[in-house]
Amino acid sequence: MNIGGGWGSFMRLLLIITLLMTLLFPAVPVMAGEASTGLSYDVKVQVDGDQVAFPDQKPFINTGTGRTYVPLRFVTEKLGATVNWNQQEKVAIVEKSGKTVKAPVGSNEPTVNGQAVYLDAPVRLINARTVVPLRFMSETLGTEVKWNSSTKTVYIKVNQAAGETDASPGSVIEITADVLNVRSGPGTSTPEIGEVIKGDKLTVFESSQGWYKVELSDGSMGWVSGRFVKVDDAQDSPGVMQAVVDATNVNIRSGPGTDHNIIGKVDRGERLGILEQAGNWVKVELVQGGIGWIADQLINIEEAEATTPLQEEQIREELENNQDRGENYPPPSEEKEEEQTDWQNYDSTVADLEVGEDNGVTVATVNTTGALEHHIFTLTNPDRLVVDLKGVKPGDLAEEINVNSELVKRIRTGKFSENPDIVRLVFDVKEPVMFAATKSKKKDGEELTLKLYVPNLGTHLKGKTIAIDPGHGGSDPGAIGSSGLKEKDVNINVGLLTANLLRQNGAEVILTRSTDAYVDLYQRTEIAGRGGADVFVSIHMNAHPKRGYSGTSTYYRRDNISGLGVSQADNRLLAQQVHSQLMQSLNRRDVGIKQANFVVLRTAAMPAVLVEASFISNLEEEKLLAKDSYRAKIAEAIAKGLAYYFAQKES
């Protein structure tokens, strides 16, 4: 036998076999962090109760990440989306209901309407089929996904049956219709009592037959149809609700009604655990122990870990010199809940509404033919100022008035309710504004003068002592981004920029650290206290193990702490003003105003907030935080929020 020739033939045969194996059994791309044996095809998928058959590429679970994958065709046929494939860039483009998802093959960062989202389960090619992570794609397209581990079945709900509800009490819903009627009960047969607009976010208290009972921005309750709302994506989970007292020297009673004995008193800003609700009364757990009842008109109901969104916040009552920041009618009487107030018997009509401008201040004057009372509050996303005229009919008032002043785009008007009569004026403003209102009597009625303005930073910051606390430092780097960017470095840079802005506007600044030095948490508030600080702002950047988390949050102290002499109302007001400016300036996801007992918050002997401006763990926000321009935006927003806080305190 010719050994040399035999060996050559053998090698040629081996080559042919190898090519045949490659053609007959194409390689399956292996996902990051998994072995080829880490795919389990023992999974079933049901959509609206029907099991889905997959004729070629089967769904599977990546046992390494626990993620379920389905072929891209499933997204079009079962989820009702339109799918296009960019062969050159190898990008799947999925569109449904105004959402566009671009998912490059092999990438952990698809985009949703241009916003990058981090995934631990990227889009892949398996056997020449594009497969996508099921939960991400389904939930992004607005369907509900549930997993049963015992049967290894994914349940997807695409079509919601009439009357079904998905939002539980305590969750937040967002209005999706341009204008949606609010009714007195669950159903179209009940009277209309108001309206909400697209983007408004409302807390759910009860659900019935596809309708949600919600709290409106003026504190009243009403019902909206579940067909025109969605559960707010910003929520991680429904929160525990608490009652926040919104009046002074409020009675706690032994039962739900004024005929029950007074067993204690609470004050403005105190937070009470909610146990149940009966009519207009709420059963609460007291901070010092014990259980009692409080009238619901004297509280705001909020999440235990966070205040309600800013659009549900009302400006505090100011009655001095017949001027106010929001209300100049007496607070509701707890002792006579059903008693009619004088304004309910007014016979008054709007005679005219005039709007002008004076040195950057928008001045609106409302004249009525009789008496009036008013209630004013602000809303965000978009920014609005709302004026309720109580005991007044609209008369010939135009439904929309184009203003286009420096601050106001337009004014929308309408009848908010009957019995009692309430006319609502909605000022669509171009940025967050302060306001002052003065009412005066005229020969033939009354006149309300409303001034809208943006406070001058120097006017309200001059002479104030402000403690700026750049978080972490020295041996404590804080969170570290994927590029190696350290939180401590961003914090000190933003802190120094903020300090410079404040000093330029006449404030005295105390920096808890001005270099890369470690400062004990307890020492930080001691430094502020020794320097006589009027307020304390701790600057931080957020982080989360899941890189998809993004956005801005602001914290203030959770518990009432005796001995510090700090009003929770002031803490809350400071958090509102700073957070509002951060949202306006940065335009990131609104994580919310929250409460926590961080050391620097619970030991501060002055109003204090802790800012988490953006997530350094989020790839997009980390890139922003590396930019000087973005850091300057954070500093400017904090300085402006402080000015708004002092402006409101001085009004």
Sequence-separated (6 or more) residues with CB below 8 Å from residue 264 = 251, 252, 286, 290, 292
Handedness of CA 562, 565, 571, 572 (dihedral sign): positive
Residue 363: other Cβ atoms inside 10 A: 15
Per-residue DSSP letter, 385 = E
CA–CA dist 362, 405 (Å, integer): 7
Let me know: does 554 contact 611? Beta carbons within 8 Å: yes
Q: Is 601 exposed, middle or buried (0-12, 13-18, 19+ CB in 10 A)?
A: buried
Q: Give the H or E element holding residue 429.
A: strand 422-429
Sequence-separated (6 or more) residues with CB below 8 Å from residue 2 = none
Sequence-separated (6 or more) residues with CB below 8 Å from residue 50 = none
Catalytic residue among 215, 334, 612, 620: 612
CA–CA dist 362, 365 (Å, integer): 10
Q: How many CA atoms lie within 13 A of 438 on its CB side?
A: 8
Phi and psi at 55, nearest 5°, equal -70, -35
If phi > 0 it is left, if psi is from -120 to 50 it is alpha, else beta; for residue 49 that is left
95 assigned to active site: no
Q: Beta 291-295 vs 392-393: how paired, if at all? A: unpaired
Q: Give the H or E element holding residue 193.
A: strand 192-197
Sequence-separated (6 or more) residues with CB below 8 Å from residue 394 = 349, 350, 413, 414, 415, 423
CA–CA dist 267, 356 (Å, integer): 40
CA–CA dist 28, 125 (Å, integer): 8
Q: Which long-range contacts (CB under 8 A, 24 or more apart) does 78-82 make?
A: 78/47, 78/52, 78/156, 78/158, 79/47, 79/137, 79/138, 79/141, 79/143, 79/156, 79/158, 80/141, 80/158, 81/141
Let me know: does 45 contact 132? Beta carbons within 8 Å: no
SS3 content of the chain, % helix, strand, coil (to 5): 20, 40, 40
SS3 of 592-607: EEEEECCHHHHCCCCC
Let me know: does 175 contact 224? Beta carbons within 8 Å: yes
* Tokens standing for residue 366: 């409302």
Per-residue DSSP letter, 514 = S
Sequence-separated (6 or more) residues with CB below 8 Å from residue 513 = 469, 470, 473, 492, 495, 519
**Could you give the residue numbers annotated as active site?**
612
